[in-house]
Amino acid sequence: MGSAEMSGSGRDEQTSVGRTPTSNDWTRRARAARQALVEAFPRNAGSAQLLERVRKLLSGRPALGVFAAAFVYASYSTLTAPGRPGAITPRGWYAGGDQSYYLAEVTALVHGHLPDKDHYRYGLGYPLLAAPFKALGMSYPFSIVNIILLALMVALVFLIGCELLGRRFGYACAFATVVATPIFHVFLPPWSNLVTMVAVLACTLVACRPSVPWRQYAWVVGLSVCFTFSARYADVVWPAAIAAVGAWRVKERRATALAAVGVAGVVVLAVTLLTHLVVLGHPLTTPYAFHGGSVGPSDQSLQSFKLSRVGSRFLDIFVTGHENGSRAALPSAWLDLYPFVRDFPLTLDPLLLVAPLTVLVPLGFMRMVPASRRLTEPNILVALGVSVVGTIFYLSFSGNSQIFGSARYFAVWMPLWVVAGLFPFFSDTREQRRRHHAPTRPRTLGPTHGPDRRTEPKRIGPSNGGAVRGRAGVADSN
C-alpha cells in the first residue's frame, strides 16, 4: 500500500509539474477558483445565482436574448446620437419638421383631445404608441418607443431566420441587420415608417411558420394592420398583402381569424375617418392633403406618384448618391428646420454602399425559388415581392430624395433584404447537415425483428414444376 501511494503521488507530481496542463486541468482550476471566490465573498453567491438564472432564461429563449441585446444597443445609440435633444440644440431633432408634429400630436392626445388642424399632419397611430410614456412625464417619449421597436425588429428578423434555415442563420441575420444596414442611424429620430417595418416583419414571421393558431394570427395581424393604417395610411397594403398569404397557415378556424382582423380594421378605419371629419372637415381629407400643396400637388394626390421617376431615382438613391447630376447635399432650407445638422454631417451615400447585402438580393431570390418546395420559403418570396413593389411605389413618389430622412422609405425593407442576401451562404450548409444526420437503415446479415419481405430469398420448390413460395410465406402445391 505504501509503495502504491508513493508511486501514485509521484505520478501526480509529474502531471502537475512535468507536462503542460491540458484543457481538463484548466477547467478544474477555473472551477476551484470560482468556488474559492464564492466562499471568500458570500455576498456574491446571490448575484452569481441571479446571473445563472438570467443565463438559463436567455439560453432557453434565444429571441428574448436577441431582443435584450438589441435593446441595449439601441439605447446606447440613442443616448449618444448627436441629434438627440440637448446634445447640440435644446430640442434636437424635435426642432422642426415631422418630429415636431409627432410631439404636438402626442401632447394633444395625452391632454384628452385631438390635435388641431395646424398640427394634425400625420396619422395618430405612431403618437398613440408614445402616449403612455408622455403621460408618465417624459418630455420626448418617442425615444423609448423607437428603442422598443428597433429591438423588436431585430428579434423578428432572428425568428424569421430561424424559421427558414435554423438558429445560426437567425443570429447571422439579426447581427447583419444591425451592423450592415443604416437602420440604427436612420430611425434614431422619430419616424412613423418604423411602425411599417415592424408590422411587415411580424406578418412575414406569421406567413413563414408551418402552422399558426388562429388567435395568434388574429392578434399579430390585427395589431400590425391596424397600427400601420393609423400611422401611415397607404403603407397598410404591405403587411396586409403578406398577411393574406399567411392566412393559409391557419389550419383551424381560419374564417374566425380573418373575421376578427376584419372587424378590428373596420373599427380603426371608422375612428380614423371620424378624426378627419372632426379636425379636417371631411372624412376623406387626410393629413397628407396639407403636405406640399403650396408648391405642387399634395402628398395625397396621385399626381405625386409617377412611374417615370423610378429609373432615375433608383440610380440616384441606390447607386450614385447624386441628385440632379451632382452630389446630393442638404438644401439650406433644411438647416433652419434641423439646426443640429450644421454640426452633424449626415451620410448621403448611396444605399447600396451603406447596405451592401442588398446587392445579393437577386442571388438570394434565385436560390430561394428551387427551395420553395419546402414549407417556409414560398411566403418569404411573397414578402420579397412586396418589398419590390413597395420600393417602386416610393421611388415614384415626388417627396423622396437623398436628403435627410428619405432613406426611411427604403430602410423599411432592409431586414428582408438582409435575409435574402445571406440566404445563399447558409442554404447549402443546411442541406449538407440534413444529409449528414439523415437516419440510415442498419445493414444486417439477416432479419432482426421478423422476416423482411423485401430481402427474404425466394424458395424454389421441386424441379417437377414446384411453385415458388409466395410473399405470404405459403408454398403452392401441385
The angle formed by the CA atoms of residues 243, 169 and 247, to the nearest 5 degrees, is 15
What distance in Å separates the CA atoms of residue 368 and residue 379, rounded to the nearest whole number? 10
What's the pLDDT at 317?
Answer: 84
CB distance 94 to 103 below 8 Å: yes
C-alpha 318, offset from chain centre: 22
The Cα-based distances of 200 to 104, 396, 425 in angstroms read 27, 21, 24
CB distance 350 to 317 below 8 Å: yes
- Closest C-alpha among 194, 239, 227 to residue 412: 194
The angle formed by the CA atoms of residues 165, 258 and 386, to the nearest 5 degrees, is 50
* Cα torsion angle, 388, 391, 395, 401, sign: negative
What distance in Å separates the CA atoms of residue 82 and residue 89, rounded to the nearest whole number? 9
The DSSP-derived string for 213-240 is: -HHHHHHHHHHHHHHHHHHHGGGGHHHH
What's the pLDDT at 103?
Answer: 92
What's the pLDDT at 10?
Answer: 46
What's the pLDDT at 312?
Answer: 84
The DSSP-derived string for 16-43 is: IIIS---HHHHHHHHHHHHHHHHHH-TH
The Cα-based distances of 56 to 38, 44, 61, 108 in angstroms read 20, 18, 9, 44
pTM: 0.76
Helices assigned H by DSSP within 180-331: 183-186, 193-208, 214-232, 237-246, 254-275, 310-314
In sequence order, the β-bridge partners of residue 250 are 212
Helices assigned H by DSSP within 396-449: 408-411, 414-436
Cβ-based burial of 295 (10 A; exposed 0-12, middle 13-18, buried ≥19): exposed
- Closest C-alpha among 212, 207, 220, 203 to residue 376: 207
What's the pLDDT at 475?
Answer: 44
In sequence order, the β-bridge partners of residue 212 are 250
What's the pLDDT at 25?
Answer: 64
With H, G, I as helix, E, B as strand and everything else as coil, classify residue 323. strand
Cell numbers given for 139: 418630455
pLDDT tens sequence for the chain (478 residues): 554 444 444 444 444 444 555 556 666 766 666 666 555 555 544 566 666 666 666 666 889 999 999 999 999 999 988 878 887 778 888 876 788 899 999 999 999 999 998 889 889 999 999 999 999 988 889 999 999 999 999 999 999 999 988 899 999 999 999 999 989 988 888 999 999 999 999 999 998 888 888 888 899 999 999 999 999 999 999 999 999 888 888 888 888 888 999 999 999 999 999 999 999 988 988 888 887 655 667 677 777 788 888 888 888 888 887 665 555 555 554 555 555 455 444 546 788 888 999 999 999 988 888 765 554 567 889 999 999 999 999 988 876 655 555 788 899 999 999 999 999 998 765 554 554 444 544 444 444 444 544 444 555 444 444 444 444 444 444 3
Phi/psi at 471 (5° precision): -65, -25
Cell numbers given for 260: 376578427
